[in-house]
Structure formats: C-alpha cells, structure tokens
C-alpha cells in the first residue's frame, strides 16, 4: 500500500546545532533530487527573523558540503519561520496559521528530549496533529522508566506508525549492508550460529573528545550515548532471525526478540573508562564518574546464540576513528595440520568494516609454497572505495525522505527501545568506578581482561582491509 506523502516539513530547534550541521544540508540535497517541494517551517525561541534563518541556512551549507545556487533559491523560497516559546500557546497558534493549507505535516523535534512532551502537547492542543507524523531524536529517554514515559506521551498524541525515532546510524550505507549481506546470501546461514561462531566483537571508536559538550555528556555518558542505541542496533541486525516477510514490521519484530533475549548487564560484565583530561572540560564535575569509554560482555540466550559472547566497546579519544564488526569463527575440530588450530586469534573470521571505508572481509588460511603443510591468514574482501562511490545519500537525507512517505524500516520502534533499555538499566544503577585511560589509546587495560577468555580485542586501523 502506497502511503501518503507529507505536505509540510516543520523542524523545531531550527536555530540549533543539529539543524546547522545536518538538517539544512539534507534539505538542500533533497531539493536537488526533486524530493522536496513543500513549505519548510523552522520553529525556535531565539528572537530571530526569517532573513536571519535564511542567512543561517546559507552559512550551514557553505560549511557542510557547499551551496547549490538553484537548490538554495528553492529552499529559501519554501522556508518560513516561527519564533516563540514552546510553552506558550501563541507559538503553536502562529504555526497553525502558517500550516493552514497542509493536511499531513511532518514535525521534527530537533530539540532536547526534555522538551518533547511540551511540544507534543502544544501541537495537540492547537489542533496541529491530525494526519501528522513526528520525528524525535535520540536518546529516547534516559533509562527504562523515562523511555516508557516518553513513549506514552508521544502515543497520546500520535499513533505509533506516525512516530519516527531517528538514529542516523541506521541510515548509513554500511549498516544497511549488514542486513542485506546476511539475508541475500545463502552461504552464511549454516554457520551463523553458536555451533560455528566463537565470539563477536564490535568496536566504535572516536579519535576526539566531547567537543565542549560537558554538560550533555555528564548527563549521558557512553552507555546511553552510543551503546544502548548504535551498538545494540548493530547487534540486532547481526543476531536477528530471518524476517518472515518483506516489510519493516517483520524486521522490527525480529530485532525486538533479540533485545528480549539479551541477558541484563551485570557489573562484572561492564568496564567503564574515562579519558584523562575529561574532568577539566567545561561543564564537567571535578570528581566526575561519567564514562567516556565502555566495554561490555553480552550474551543472547536464544537458540541460535546461546553461549556465544558478544564483546562491545565504544569510546572518545581513542587511537583511531573507526567502526568495525569481527565475527570470530571456531577453529577446525581436528588438528590435521600443525597450524590448523591457531591459538593467537587467527582462525577464520568475517569482518564488517563500517567506517571510515565500508567493506566486508572474510579471513581464510592459505598454504605457503613448499613441502610443509603450513599457511598464512589472508583476507578476501568486497567493498572499499566502490561502496563509497556508490553511496549517494547522506543518512539524514535518506531518513528524512523515508519519514516523509511513512517508511519506518530504518527507525527505532517503541518495543525495541524499551527492551534495549531493560538490558542497560542494571548497569546504569550499579557499576564499578571508571578507570582512567590516556587519550589516543584503546582505553583502559581492564577492558583487555574482560575479553581475555576469548583472546584479544582486534584493534582496527584505517586502510587495514585486505591487509
């Protein structure tokens, strides 16, 4: 069934950082592709004028990809602005007047989560929510209780199928390729289980700090910022059962089952770290115990994955800016050759290189020339620059386009959000103190002890694919 297209785009927080870095560039790109021909209404409480918002849009584009004169002219012509306090009914009355001809508006709440309820209720009271859709930014709550409250608030105003919880990570080409590669190739299914997979590692490391967002990070931390959403979404795509039919509802159902099968995190399964110098950042407490690094051991008690450890780590100020999945396979059951059961972690593996250069690699042992039956590990790989050249849409462009037509495949679902928080919640309430680590390292040494029963962390390096 073809869904009705939105006929107006309203973004709250129009003068903020997210609009500047992501939304304006995505809107221009959509206009370039003839995907956007509707009123574009910015809402904020900054005391600005429409001309100042247009100046902000131009400056955004100049610093984020460049200005296309024709596309920007169309963007400027479509752009309107409402200035006002989100807690005042007059703000929403002005918005309703501008929306007078729109029947299916799309609202983007590019604002702090603490304001979601205020704006949602303001839209409802002004009569602006009929046939409307809404996009909300992560984090979806602060813990399980707040996530449930937020979902309840949103669902009191919008039906679930009209709520789009955006996580730009899900719009990345490399992430989308995980689910495609898994279910478009039949050779994986026989080995994609506890009988052949020894462990799974997922690394998401950033080579910069908190970028003057001390107050935000003090209230968030690494577990909430990237583990509960980004890394858990990757786990779900890797661990889910095949959907029974085509459609995003089937995908969501299987992802929820993965989260529900996860064992809640215990303190012994989590290592929290903090880079040296974090406490000197503006907005950070002198005795802060907030983690800028997190490593954890996760188990999924399903028929497919029971007993297989999943090792996840993410952090700020790490050695490299990379994202990678390493699916370590078990060694051959019989020691037919002297080196056929390596003990240094060099058994066969499948590697999803997610960033900066998307690729997929399969490691296999190949015999050396000569009489001896010994070999070396080599990678067969697909992707690299070819995938990069083929990526034509940015994640925000892709996700905004999907939301405008009601396509929810790449968005988080209510049940998945709450099930993921249920796994994380125990680690938020009870945990060991942070371990300090040097900037531009791979985190605290305690993370190495966590993974020691299954070898070592694979420390990816840019350009390493095929090495």
What pLDDT, in 10s, does the model give residues 229-259? 889 999 999 999 988 877 667 788 899 999 9
CATH of 8-137, one of 3.40.50.150, 3.40.50.720, 1.20.1090.10, 3.40.50.360: 3.40.50.720
Cβ density class 205-244: b for 16+ within 10 Å, e for less: bbeebbeebbeebbebbbbbbbbbbbbbbbbbbbbbeebe
Name which of 16-20, 139-143, 362-366, 391-395 the model is least confident about.
391-395
Please count the other Cβ atoms lying within 10 Å of the Cβ belonging to residue 430.
11
Phi, psi (deg, nearest 5) at residue 362? -120, 120
Q: Which CATH superfamily is domain 170-393+413-454 in?
A: Dihydrodipicolinate Reductase; domain 2 (3.30.360.10)
Whether residue 33 is predicted with pLDDT greater than 70 in this model: the reply is: yes
Q: What is the mean pLDDT of residues 199-228?
A: 91
* Predicted TM-score (pTM) of this structure: 0.87
Which of the residues 5, 142, 168, 230 is marked catalytic?
Answer: 230
Whether residue 124 is predicted with pLDDT greater than 70 in this model: the reply is: yes
Query: What is the predicted pLDDT for the residue at 395?
Result: 85
Whether residue 188 is predicted with pLDDT greater than 50 in this model: the reply is: yes
Whether residue 40 is predicted with pLDDT greater than 80 in this model: the reply is: yes
For helices 395-404 and 24-32, give the axis angle rounded to 10 degrees: 70
Query: What is the predicted pLDDT for the residue at 175?
Result: 82
Fold agreement between 8-137 and 170-393+413-454: no
Name which of 67-71, 80-84, 393-397, 451-455 the model is least confident about.
393-397
Name which of 130-139, 252-261, 348-357, 364-373 the model is least confident about.
364-373
Q: 66 vs 338, which has greater pLDDT?
A: 66
Q: Is 230 a catalytic residue?
A: yes
Instruction: Report pLDDT digits (tens) over 269-310.
Output: 999 999 999 999 999 999 999 999 999 999 999 999 999 999
Residue 360: strand pairing partners: 352, 382
Tokens of 172: 């990345």
Q: How far apart are CA 185 and CA 208, in angstroms?
A: 37
E strand segments, 267-308? 270-275, 293-299
DSSP 272: E
3-class SS at 381?
A: strand
Query: What is the predicted pLDDT for the residue at 340?
Result: 54
Whether residue 222 is predicted with pLDDT greater than 90 in this model: the reply is: yes
Matching residue, tokens 């002004």: 126
Query: What is the predicted pLDDT for the residue at 345?
Result: 47
Rg (CA), the chain: 24
Whether residue 154 is predicted with pLDDT greater than 70 in this model: the reply is: yes
Name which of 8-12, 264-268, 292-296, 382-386 the model is least confident about.
382-386
Domain boundaries, the chain: 8-137, 170-393+413-454
Given pLDDT bands bounded at 50, 70 and 90, which one contains residue 45?
A: very high
Whether residue 467 is predicted with pLDDT greater than 90 in this model: the reply is: no
Q: How far apart are CA 196 and CA 339, in angstroms?
A: 19
């Amino acid at each position: 069934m073809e869904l009705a297209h939105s006929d107006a785009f309203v973004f709250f927080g129009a003068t903020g950082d997210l609009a500047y870095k992501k939304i304006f560039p995505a809107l221009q790109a959509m206009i370039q592709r003839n995907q956007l021909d509707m009123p574009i209404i910015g809402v904020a409480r900054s005391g600005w004028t429409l001309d100042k918002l247009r100046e902000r849009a131009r400056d955004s584009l100049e610093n984020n990809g460049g200005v296309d004169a024709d596309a920007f002219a169309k963007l400027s012509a479509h752009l309107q602005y409402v200035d006002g306090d989100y807690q005042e009914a007059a703000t929403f009355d002005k918005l309703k007047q501008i929306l007078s001809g729109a029947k299916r508006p799309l609202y983007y709440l590019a604002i702090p989560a603490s304001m979601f309820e205020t704006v949602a209720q303001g839209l409802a009271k002004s009569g602006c929510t009929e046939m409307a859709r809404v996009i909300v930014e992560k984090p979806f709550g602060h813990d399980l209780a707040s996530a449930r409250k937020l979902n309840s608030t949103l669902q009191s105003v919008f039906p679930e199928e009209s709520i789009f919880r955006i996580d730009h990570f899900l719009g990345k080409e490399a992430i989308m390729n995980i689910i495609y590669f898994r279910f478009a190739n039949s050779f994986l299914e026989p080995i994609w289980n506890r009988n052949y997979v020894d462990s799974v590692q997922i690394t998401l490391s950033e080579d910069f700090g908190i970028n003057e967002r001390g107050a935000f990070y003090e209230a968030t931390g690494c577990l909430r910022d990237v583990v509960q959403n980004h890394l858990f979404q990757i786990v779900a795509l890797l661990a889910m059962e095949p959907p029974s039919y085509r459609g995003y509802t089937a995908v969501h159902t299987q992802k929820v089952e993965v989260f529900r099968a996860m064992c809640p995190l215990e303190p012994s399964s989590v290592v929290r770290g903090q880079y040296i110098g974090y406490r000197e950042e503006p907005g950070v407490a002198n005795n802060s115990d907030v983690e800028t690094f997190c490593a954890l051991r996760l188990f999924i008690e399903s028929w497919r994955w029971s007993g297989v450890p999943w090792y996840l780590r993410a952090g700020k100020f790490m050695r490299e800016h990379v994202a990678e999945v390493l699916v370590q396979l078990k060694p051959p059951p019989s020691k037919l050759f002297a080196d056929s059961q390596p003990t240094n972690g060099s058994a066969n593996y499948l590697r999803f290189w997610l960033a900066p250069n998307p690729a997929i690699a399969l490691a296999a042992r190949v015999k050396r020339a000569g009489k001896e039956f010994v070999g070396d590990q080599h990678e067969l790989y697909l992707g690299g620059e070819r995938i990069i050249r083929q990526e034509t849409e940015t994640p925000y462009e892709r996700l905004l386009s999907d939301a405008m037509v009601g396509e929810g495949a790449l968005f988080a679902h209510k049940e998945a959000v709450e099930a993921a928080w249920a796994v994380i919640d125990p680690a938020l309430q009870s945990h060991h103190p942070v371990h300090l680590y040097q900037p531009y390292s791979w985190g605290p040494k305690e993370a190495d002890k966590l993974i020691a029963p299954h070898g070592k962390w694979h420390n990816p390096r840019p350009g390493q694919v095929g090495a």
